[in-house]
Amino acid sequence: MVVGDGSFIPVHIFKLSVEMIGEHFIADIAFSDRLGVGFNLIGRKGIFDYFDEVIFREQQREVEFRRSGQEV
């Protein structure tokens, strides 16, 4: 997979069942030991498409997902 600086890292992609805000869907989730950041979140496809807003709080190590006034 290509990362932000243009380099490639090996990833393992799994189709996983996800349930958030009462929505249930299948998403491709990628994991990599080589990502090297606090949030080991790769890509947006399959997760971010379901939400209006995604808020990252680095210091609290939190990610908030919002959809039409709801939040997780």
Residue ranges per domain, the chain? 12-71
Per-residue pLDDT at 66 exceeds 80: yes
6 — pLDDT class (breaks 50, 70, 90): confident
- C-alpha 39/C-alpha 7 separation (Å) is 18
C-alpha angle with apex 12: 62 to 31, nearest 5 degrees? Answer: 10
Neighbours of 51 (CB within 10 A): 20
The pLDDT assigned to 38 comes to 55
Which residues partner with 16 through β-bridges?
27
Q: What is the pLDDT of residues 17-57, one digit of tens each?
A: 888 777 788 888 888 777 665 555 555 677 777 788 888 89
Q: Which two tokens stand for residue 23?
A: 């929505």
Please, which residues have CB within 8 angstroms of residue 14's CB and are 6 or more apart in sequence? 28, 29, 30, 31
